[in-house]
Structure 1
Amino acid sequence: MASSLHTELVRVPCGPVHVEGMLEIPPDPVGVVLFAHGSGSSRLSPRNNYVAAALRQSRIGTLLMDLLTATEDDDERMRFDIDLLTRRLDAAVDWLRHSPSASALPLGLFGASTGAAAALRVAAKRPDDIGALVSRGGRPDMAGEQVLKAVITPTLLIVGGFDSAVIALNQTALAALDCEKRMEIIPEAGHLFEEAGKLAKVASLAAGWFIRHMSTPEEDVAAHVKNASQARPEKRL
């Protein structure tokens, strides 16, 4: 058993380019979660890093990666190119499946905004590889109705109570999904969950969902979720 956190800066090959990511695996992990950030964000997203830190406290490894190169990210059109984001995320899944540090671990996906659409497309394409999926303030509708119908991965959609437009889009996507599914609306939370305590609730829900679907029955789910809810407050950037 490892005695400390394994941290590794990685470069994932994606066709003619490489994108960077940070892989962090806690001791005795129950799984690993690959993060797909939203448009205009990156692996340095303070919100995704907050959730990732909480997951690691619950013995879940994390890989936060850039889906675009710095040059590509300057083009707003590429931020909304779901096909491109899906290919990049799919390449990261391939990388994890061959990583000495993570290849044996159950794999989950955490998507935010447009990253949720890419995560759902990868889940539909690779049902045997993806054990669970969580969307935070996501745009699952952008995955496409046929993709949503093909997803069999257990999927949790989390939306802020103040985010009325995104709530409606998630409700439509939820109806199209034909898998184990749930939608959680966090009261008095906006799209970015910046209100006090709201991001901690996201982390707690995500940890519980991943542990339920990626760990063995004897895992103490309640203890892990408690750890996630006690994560340190998010640092504002």
Structure 2
Amino acid sequence: MRARNMTGDRLTPQAEPGGHLVGRRPAPPAGPLATAGPAPRLPSRGYAVEVPAGALRLAGALEVPVGARAMAVLTTGSGRHRREMSAALRRAGLGTLVLELLHPAESAVGHNAFDIVLLARRLGAACDWLHGETGLPVGCAATGTRAAAALEAAAGHDTVRAVVCLSGRPELARPSSLDRVPVPVLLVTGGRGTRLLGRNRLAADWLRCPHRVVEIPDAADPVFSGDAACRVLALATGWLTGHLGGGTTAPAPPAPRTWT
């Protein structure tokens, strides 16, 4: 495996078995991370990585800020939304792995986006890898059908410690999996997307873990809806930092409607 940091520098020699980055690494950072359990095995700058998922390698962008106390895997939205959420989480003290669960050729086949078991298997493998590399707790944030995959992964992988579903399709996860999710789950949807809201509430009915369904008023798809997107970022950041033990928790957004 080869990796480059976000400034274009290539990491020196190859990867060891299992996809771990090897070669010259920066010294472990000083501060909270140095005393919070095992030192991370990954650099503190941003890198393009290839994450092992069975026989495949998934493309990802990894950033571990100095002092990070938790990690978040993002399989969300468009490039712009991913960048904004990744930046918000890093400001709050979390590291991020922005991950593509499908190769470009697979994405061209429409039904692959609905293969929840496949997506969940890859996402779970990525969370296992990330936890093994950093020694830090891992959470997931996902949109669309990948929200169902995140819940399936949480049901089957104890490395997943919290889940955020944003304008997602969590009801596509198997009821038997939803029933077994052991970690806190946040489901965010728009108040004008009544069908999507109903689907999120349906999934919530199967969850036995601590969870919230949050409706953002006056937005059909709050992930991509201007001011509503800012509320979504605050909600997601607050949930992940609060449940993963990360950095500063983001301020709460203005009173969205919630169900518990």
TM-score normalised by length of structure 1: 0.83
Alpha-carbon deviation of 1:2?
A: 5.7
Structure with the greater relative contact order (CA < 8 A, sep ≥ 6): 1 or 2? Answer: 1
Aligned to 1:142: 172
Output the CA distance in 1 between the equivalents of 2:189 and 2:48.
31
Tell me, what secondary structure is at the counterpart of 1:59?
coil
4+ residue segments displaced more than 4 Å: 2-5
Equivalent residues of 1:51, 1:199 under 8 A apart = no
Work out which of the two has the higher radius of gyration on C-alpha atoms and give 1 or 2.
2
Alpha-carbon deviation of 1:190?
A: 2.1
1:130 equivalent among 156, 160, 163? 160
Aligned to 1:51: 85
* Paired residues for 1:189-228 under 5 Å: 189-191=219-221, 193-215=223-245, 221=248, 224-226=249-251
Q: Per-residue CA shift, 1:1-24, capped at 9, x if unaligned?
A: 369962111101233332210011
Output the CA distance in 2 between the equivalents of 1:65 and 1:166.
24
Output the CA distance in 2 between the equivalents of 1:85 and 1:2.
36
1:113 paired with 2:147, answer no
Aligned to 1:178: 208
Tell me, what secondary structure is at the counterpart of 1:193?
helix
2:66 equivalent among 16, 27, 44? 27
Q: RMSD of the alignment, in Å?
A: 2.1
Equivalent residues of 1:36, 1:118 under 8 A apart = no
Aligned to 2:217: 187
1:68 paired with 2:99, answer no
Corresponding pairs, count: 214
Structure 1 unaligned spans of 5+: 230-237
Amino acid at match of 1:9: A
Tell me, what secondary structure is at the counterpart of 1:46?
helix
Q: Between the two proteins, what is the percent identity of the paired residues? A: 34
Equivalent residues of 2:222, 2:228 under 8 A apart = no
Alpha-carbon deviation of 1:180?
A: 0.6
Structure 2 unaligned spans of 5+: 1-28, 32-42, 254-260
